[in-house]
């Protein structure tokens, strides 16, 4: 190579390198914590939801509407599938946020499915 | 008679120019090696996206008289230029950055330590390589296989031991594809059933601010400290910034699809082209493959040991299985942590937790490579 290495002792190379790797990643760890601390957007995110809910006017739900609304789990979907979907969603950090499980587009057109996906994506 | 003579001379000339006249047993063996790698890539599906082009490049490299690396410029020489001048690995990192979600790492930054601990395999292999007679530059290039990061292995090899590039690249990608076979026995051996059953606390949500600021801050800090890897880290973080900014979807899409696919073809084929018989058919190659395995196992063990330490320190909040994901191999190593965790306790989802050390491993391997370059060049 034509270069003269600082040392050729593998033990010293290992010790120096592992020290540097740990120092760099520890500093990076604290930088991440610092970013979290100075994050101006983090405060807004959590407490808003309950306040909004409190401000909303209470609207009575007609019993007929409730009766017409589809069930949270569509018929024909086995409970094992529901369990797997819920577990996967929970694993991604959205515990308790599965509101309904329905088979998309099993009787609609591709246009309808596309519109539905777009609406979900906007949310 | 004259026509017959001319015909004979022409035939002789064609034969002399053909590959058959200069074909050696070594070329034959290497073509068989290439075919074996093709079989592993396309039939067994071991890292087919990279092993496929590498295997075909290996076959191409062993046709005599092709003039691929002669005086005149040609496509193969241009591809080789991209490898020997460290152009392709950073471009691959650009795509990897665009595909990587740093959120699990940002949500639990302490997992960076697992990515650091898993680099121990690099230095175990480095020591082993020097013991069996490789010089320090070659040993460093071989050791980086333990980082389980193909582009970084290629990057370091071209800088420190270009003559070993083919063997190192094949070893690195072969072991990366064998992660699901190599890691689980070590994970089971080094952890108890109770440790494997630990259910980790849900990760906190990460804001867009954190996801955007992190790649910028990390690039500034690491590039200033270790300039030799500024190209690698810079491209990784730039790709990630494309992904996270939310306003460069087209660039992100290009980086994580078209660009990385094109560069993968060039990188793979070019790496395979370094596997000529005279360079590859040596006892050193077998040693490199053996040392690569040692490096990989050492990295896995290092991550697990540190995972166990973190488990103790945090009072059982960390499942040590995520430590093995500290060897980069994104996202395969994280999937292995998930699978072993699920086998120990059905419903124990470790995937997102293991992604933290997994992406930390990518950064850790690049830092290890940068440190070795700074020390040895």
Does residue A85 share a domain with residue A51? no
B15 belongs to a structural domain: no
Measured CA to CA, the distance from residue B324 to residue B184 in angstroms comes to 9
Cβ separation of B112 and A13 shorter than 8 Å? no
| Structure token digits, residue B46 | 């071991």
Question: Chain A interface, mutation test: which of B101, B119, B152, most A Cβ atoms within 10 Å?
Answer: B119
Find where tokens 């930390």 sit. Answer: B360
Domain count, chain A: 2
| Structure token digits, residue B339 | 């699978």
- Residue A46: the pLDDT is 52
A64 belongs to a structural domain: no
Does residue A89 share a domain with residue A51? no
Question: Chain A interface, mutation test: which of B203, B212, B218, B352, most A Cβ atoms within 10 Å?
Answer: B218
Q: Which of B105, B136, B222 shows the shortest C-beta gap to A24?
A: B222
Does residue A26 share a domain with residue A80? no
Domain count, chain B: 1
Report the share of chain B in percent with pLDDT over 70.
100
Question: Which chain A residues are Cβ-neighbours of B127 within 8 angstroms?
Answer: 10-11, 14
- Residue B247: the pLDDT is 95
Measured CA to CA, the distance from residue B125 to residue B117 in angstroms comes to 14
The answer to whether residue A14 scores a pLDDT higher than 60 is: yes
Mean pLDDT of chain B: 92
Q: B82 or A89: which carries more pLDDT confidence?
A: B82
Question: Chain B interface, mutation test: which of A34, A35, A44, A96, most B Cβ atoms within 10 Å?
Answer: A35
The answer to whether residue A60 scores a pLDDT higher than 60 is: no
Cβ separation of B116 and A25 shorter than 8 Å? yes
Does residue A85 share a domain with residue A44? no
Does residue A75 share a domain with residue A36? no
A29 belongs to a structural domain: yes
Q: A97 or A17: which carries more pLDDT confidence?
A: A17
Residue B108: pLDDT band by 50, 70, 90 thresholds? very high
Span B159-177, mean pLDDT? 88
Span B57-64, mean pLDDT? 94
The answer to whether residue B76 scores a pLDDT higher than 70 is: yes
Span B168-183, mean pLDDT? 87
Does residue A2 share a domain with residue A55? yes
B306 belongs to a structural domain: yes
Q: Which residue of A has its CA nearest to B121?
A: A14
Dihedral sign, Cα of residue B19, residue B21, residue B25, residue B26: negative
Question: Which chain A residues are Cβ-neighbours of B326 within 8 angstroms?
Answer: none
The answer to whether residue B26 scores a pLDDT higher than 60 is: yes
Residue B242: pLDDT band by 50, 70, 90 thresholds? very high
Question: Which chain A residues are Cβ-neighbours of B226 within 8 angstroms?
Answer: 24
pLDDT in tens, B114-141: 999 999 999 999 999 999 999 999 999 9
Whether the upstream peptide bond of residue B331 has omega within 30° of 0, thus cis, is yes
Is residue B203 within 8 angstroms of chain A, CB to CB? yes
Q: Which of A59, A88, A108 is a domain's end point?
A: A59
Cβ separation of B210 and A35 shorter than 8 Å? yes
A93 belongs to a structural domain: yes
Cβ separation of B112 and A40 shorter than 8 Å? no
Residue A27: pLDDT band by 50, 70, 90 thresholds? very high
Residues 6+ apart with CB under 8 A from B48: B41, B42
B256 belongs to a structural domain: yes
CA B368 to chain centre: 14
Q: A100 or A60: which carries more pLDDT confidence?
A: A100
Is residue B29 within 8 angstroms of chain A, CB to CB? no
Is residue B199 within 8 angstroms of chain A, CB to CB? no
B346 belongs to a structural domain: yes
Q: Which residues, in sequence order, are bridge partners of residue A89? A: none
* Secondary structure letter of residue A73 according to DSSP: B
A22 belongs to a structural domain: yes
3-state helix, strand, coil in chain B (%, to 5): 80, 0, 20
Does residue A123 share a domain with residue A102? yes
The answer to whether residue B29 scores a pLDDT higher than 90 is: yes
A65 belongs to a structural domain: no
* Secondary structure letter of residue A62 according to DSSP: P
Mean pLDDT of chain A: 73
Q: How many CB atoms lie within 10 A of CB B72?
A: 6
Span B290-317, mean pLDDT? 94
Measured CA to CA, the distance from residue B224 to residue B372 in angstroms comes to 16
Question: Which chain B residues are Cβ-neighbours of A1 within 8 angstroms?
Answer: 137, 160, 377
A6 belongs to a structural domain: yes
Span A81-87, mean pLDDT? 82
Report the share of chain B in percent with pLDDT over 90.
75
Residue A111: pLDDT band by 50, 70, 90 thresholds? low
- Residue B342: the pLDDT is 92
Q: Are A28 and B101 in contact (CB under 8 A)?
A: no
Name the residue among B243, B247, B245, B266 with its Cα closest to residue B256: B243
Residue A71: pLDDT band by 50, 70, 90 thresholds? low
Does residue A74 share a domain with residue A55? no
Measured CA to CA, the distance from residue A73 to residue A36 in angstroms comes to 38
Q: Which residue of A has its CA nearest to B208?
A: A41
Measured CA to CA, the distance from residue A27 to residue A31 in angstroms comes to 6
Measured CA to CA, the distance from residue B120 to residue B143 in angstroms comes to 10
Does residue A51 share a domain with residue A1? yes
Q: Which of B126, B203, B210 shows the shortest C-beta gap to A39?
A: B210
Report the share of chain A in percent with pLDDT over 90.
22
Does residue A86 share a domain with residue A44? no
Measured CA to CA, the distance from residue B170 to residue B54 in angstroms comes to 8
B52 belongs to a structural domain: no
Q: Terminus-to-terminus CA distance in chain A, angstroms?
A: 57
Measured CA to CA, the distance from residue B19 to residue B9 in angstroms comes to 17
| Structure token digits, residue B264 | 């993968």
A24 belongs to a structural domain: yes
Question: How many CB pairs lie under 8 A apart between chains A and B?
Answer: 132
Structural domain containing residue A9: 1-59
Q: Where are the beta strands (DSSP E) in B81-148?
A: none
The answer to whether residue A36 scores a pLDDT higher than 90 is: yes
B161 CA to chain A: closest CA distance, Å? 8
Span A57-78, mean pLDDT? 61
| Structure token digits, residue B26 | 């070594």
Measured CA to CA, the distance from residue B29 to residue B24 in angstroms comes to 9
- Residue A112: the pLDDT is 64
Cβ separation of A90 and B349 shorter than 8 Å? yes
Alpha helix locations (H) across chain A? Answer: 10-38, 42-45, 48-55, 63-68, 79-91, 110-122
B30 CA to chain A: closest CA distance, Å? 27
Does residue A33 share a domain with residue A81? no
Dihedral sign, Cα of residue B265, residue B267, residue B272, residue B274: positive
What separation in angstroms does the CA of B148 have from each of B84, B161, B174, B283, B296? 20, 18, 10, 23, 7
């Amino acid at each position: 190579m034509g270069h003269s290495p600082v040392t050729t002792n593998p033990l010293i190379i290992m010790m120096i390198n592992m020290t540097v790797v740990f120092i760099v990643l520890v500093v990076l760890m604290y930088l991440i914590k610092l970013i979290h601390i100075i994050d101006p957007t983090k405060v807004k995110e959590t407490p808003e939801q309950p306040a909004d809910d409190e401000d909303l006017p209470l609207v009575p739900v007609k019993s007929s509407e409730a009766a017409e609304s589809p069930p949270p789990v569509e018929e024909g979907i086995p409970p094992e599938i529901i369990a797997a979907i819920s577990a996967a969603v929970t694993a991604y950090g959205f515990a308790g946020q599965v509101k309904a499980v329905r088979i998309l587009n099993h009787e609609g057109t591709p246009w309808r499915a596309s519109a539905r996906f777009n609406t979900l994506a906007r949310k | 008679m004259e026509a017959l003579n001319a015909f004979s001379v022409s035939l002789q000339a064609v034969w002399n120019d053909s590959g058959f006249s200069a074909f050696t047993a070594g070329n034959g063996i290497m073509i068989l090696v290439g075919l074996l790698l093709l079989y592993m890539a396309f039939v067994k599906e071991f890292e087919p996206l990279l092993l496929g082009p590498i295997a075909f490049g290996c076959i191409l490299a062993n046709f005599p008289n092709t003039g691929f690396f002669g005086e005149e410029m040609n496509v193969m020489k241009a591809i080789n230029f991209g490898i020997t001048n460290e152009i392709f690995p950073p471009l691959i990192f650009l795509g990897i950055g665009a595909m990587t979600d740093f959120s699990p790492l940002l949500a639990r930054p302490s997992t960076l330590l697992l990515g650091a601990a898993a680099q121990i395999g690099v230095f175990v292999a480095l020591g082993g390589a020097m013991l069996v007679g490789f010089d320090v530059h070659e040993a460093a290039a071989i050791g980086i296989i333990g980082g389980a990061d193909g582009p970084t292995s290629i990057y370091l090899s071209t800088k420190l031991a270009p003559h070993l590039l083919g063997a190192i690249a094949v070893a690195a990608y072969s072991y990366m594809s064998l992660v699901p076979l190599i890691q689980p026995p070590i994970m089971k051996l080094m952890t108890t059933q109770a440790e494997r059953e630990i259910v980790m606390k849900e990760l906190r949500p990460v804001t867009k601010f954190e996801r955007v600021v992190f790649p910028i801050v990390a690039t500034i800090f690491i590039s200033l400290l270790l300039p030799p890897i500024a190209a690698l880290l810079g491209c990784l973080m730039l790709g990630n910034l494309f992904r996270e900014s939310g306003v460069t979807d087209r660039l992100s899409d290009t980086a994580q699809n078209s660009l990385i696919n094109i560069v993968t073809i060039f990188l793979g084929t070019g790496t395979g082209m370094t596997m000529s018989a005279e360079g590859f058919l040596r006892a050193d190659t077998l040693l490199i493959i053996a040392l690569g395995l040692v490096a990989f196992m050492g990295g896995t063990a290092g991550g697990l040991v540190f995972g166990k330490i973190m488990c103790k320190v945090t009072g059982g909040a960390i499942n040590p299985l995520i430590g093995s994901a500290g060897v980069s191999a994104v996202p395969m190593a994280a999937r292995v942590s998930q699978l072993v965790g699920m086998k120990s306790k059905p419903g124990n989802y470790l995937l997102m937790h293991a992604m933290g050390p997994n992406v930390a491993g990518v950064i850790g391997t690049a830092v290890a490579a940068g440190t070795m370059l700074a020390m040895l060049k």
